[in-house]
Chains A and B, each alone.
Chain A
Amino acid sequence: MKRTFVISVVAAALLALVPLFIQSPYALHIFILFFIVVALGESWNILGGFAGQYSVGHSAWYGIGAYGAFILLQQKNVAPWFGVWVGVAVAVIVALAVGWITFRLRGPYFVLASIAVAEIIRLLALNWKDLTNGAEGILASDLPPLKLGGTMITDWNSKTPYFYMGLLMAVFCIAVNYVVKGSKLGYYLQAIREDQDAAHSLGIPLTLYKNAALGISAACTALAGSFAAFYVGFIEPQGVFGIDVSIQMVLTCIIGGIGTVSGPIFGALVLVVLTEMLRASLAQAHLLVYGVLVVVVILVMPEGIVGFASQRLRRRKAAAA
């Protein structure tokens, strides 16, 4: 446990040094994408990985976070680092309402409900033109410079500030996962995942804990989603509420190892690298990579990379013992 912590800190520190040595905008861009995918994957992991509630509608929280921050910047000139918290708050409130309604559903029915909810929200965003500009979307106006006290830290004119923001997001979401996993919440969520009735009989109030997981997960997703949206600079309903966004989050965890803290990191690595490698040849069909990956992973390695590796380790330990 201590060792993993030290490795993580060293890794984060090393990553923080990257922009000093690498200036290529494309390379930094790949890093930023990686951080975003990690952050989103870790966010989903809390509900899907720990609690075992596979939501395929998490794009709802991504989009609410993004639209919240964008609308506040656009219409009220609120800087994103303040505006995003409104988006997060709205996302959590909506999530808890949705959770209260849908958590009585089990397994596949819950998956279906989550998809339906995200679709409803997407259609709302599409049709509520006064608020969201509908299908035309919202273009982020120039970001105000980030100032601390009197000194300007960045004016957002290069990739570097996004790099550090992305790194911060990813580290934050990983930290949340780590803290949750070792806490009573983490134990209870995993119990719910493994056997809901057994968990219930051991004194665990199911809906309360599922909602706790959803609330935290939605908050992190909204946060990371807002950042991702600002990095792109433009949002529209399909792009932020579409099922592709949700599927990517699920995939990151499935490939990497569902329910593990480090799983989404490996999943993000695989996803981002493969997608970029094949971007030229696949162009619009880059989701093909996702499709093939899901199929392969489910058939060959449903535990994901980390799950598979720890299984091997256990077997080796057991054989040696």
Chain B
Amino acid sequence: MAVLIQSILSGVLIGGVYALTGIGLTLIFGVMRVINFAQGELVMVGMYGTFFLFSLLGVDPFLSVVVTMPAMFLLGAVLQRSLINRVLDALPQNQILLTIGMGLVLSNVAMLAFTSDYRILSTSYSSSSVPLGPIRLSTPLIYCFLITVVITAALYWFLVKTDVGHAVRATAQDRDAAQLMGVNVRNMGVLAFGLGSALAGAAGALVAPTYYIYPQVGGAFTLKAFVVVVLGGMGSIIGATLGGVLIGVAESVSGTYFGSGWKDVCVYVIFLLVLLLKPAGLLGKSRM
């Protein structure tokens, strides 16, 4: 029983990070109807950035989020203006291929720059854990989850309470109507991609202490982000939040009971099931 609860709780903790990546993806899709296959590579960039901030400047990974997020926002904005913006009217398949290409470039540039050696970011508290009765929760994961909550709350506040946030949601609901109301939809696209990238970067920073860091790590994150988003409903931020936690738990529990080799299979099977049975996801689309 304790094993199950520990498993579930660990899953919730890591699920927050999956949620972050998923929220980024769903935000981009909601505003521009583009499916960003390079989301995982953006996480990877965040991981490397955090790693180097730590190993060269000694900045704690959880604190460096403050630096990583704005930097990743800029990267996202640049990518949007130079590449994504040009394919907004193209076939969806071509948009997907473009982002796949983007991802390939990012991961291979990382390989050229950093080699494919696995990097490990160990902090003083990397292996410590906090006891909670019969359960032990990993300290880095706890920090990770707490910061995820803060970021998600800030995002919600932004979208619900600010004018710019309203503009973003308007663009996601009805691009033309938003434009007619005076919203600069092109800037909304840049903002969305920038935010999506920032969230990915944050996710990368938060998992850097607990994952191996290498150029190809992005692929798994992309796929997982998709599962999260499809589960929660394309375009729904709340859905992605819930989806992330659910996937984290599913992965953790199946890893505990079936072995780590099979936990990914479990996640992808869930993915296929959702695609087939309820493709609109738990919370449907176009509602942020």
Contacts and interface: CB of A to CB of B under 8 A. Distances in A.
Nearest to A254: B97
Q: Name A's interface SS.
A: helix
Interface in B86-140: 86-87, 90-94, 96-98, 100-109, 111-112, 116
Interface in B252-274: 261-262, 264-265, 268-269, 271-272
A119 B86 CA distance: 30
B265 A124 contact: yes
A119 B268 contact: yes
A143 interface: no
B265 A284 contact: no
A238 to B, nearest CB: 10
B59 interface: no
B275 A247 contact: no
Given A107-B93, A113-B275, A288 B83 contact: no
B223 A294 contact: no
A284 B116 contact: yes
B265 A298 contact: no
A134 B93 CA distance: 33
B134 to A, nearest CB: 31
Contacts of A254: 97
B93 A108 contact: yes
Given A107-B92, A243-B219, A295 B272 contact: no
Q: Using C-beta atoms within 8 Å of the partner chain, give the interface range for chain B.
A: 35 or more
A115 interface: yes
A294 B94 CA distance: 9
Contacts of B265: 120, 123-124, 127
B2 interface: no
A111 B230 CA distance: 13
A152 to B, nearest CB: 43
Contact of A120 (B111, B116, B261, B268): B268
Contact of B93 (A111, A120, A290): A111
B105 A108 contact: no
Interface string A107-123: 11101110111011001
Contacts of B107: 287, 291
B20 to A, nearest CB: 20
B97 A116 contact: no
Given A287-B104, A290-B104, 7 more contacts: A54-B93, A116-B271, A288-B104, A291-B108, A292-B105, A295-B101, A298-B97
Interface of A: 52, 54, 56, 101-102, 104-105, 107-109, 111-113, 115-117, 119-120, 123-124, 126-127, 243, 247, 250, 254, 282, 284-288, 290-295, 298-299, 302
Interface of B: 35, 83, 86-87, 90-94, 96-98, 100-109, 111-112, 116, 219, 223, 226-227, 230, 261-262, 264-265, 268-269, 271-272, 275-276, 279
7 contacts: A112-B35, A112-B226, A113-B271, A127-B265, A288-B112, A292-B101, A299-B83
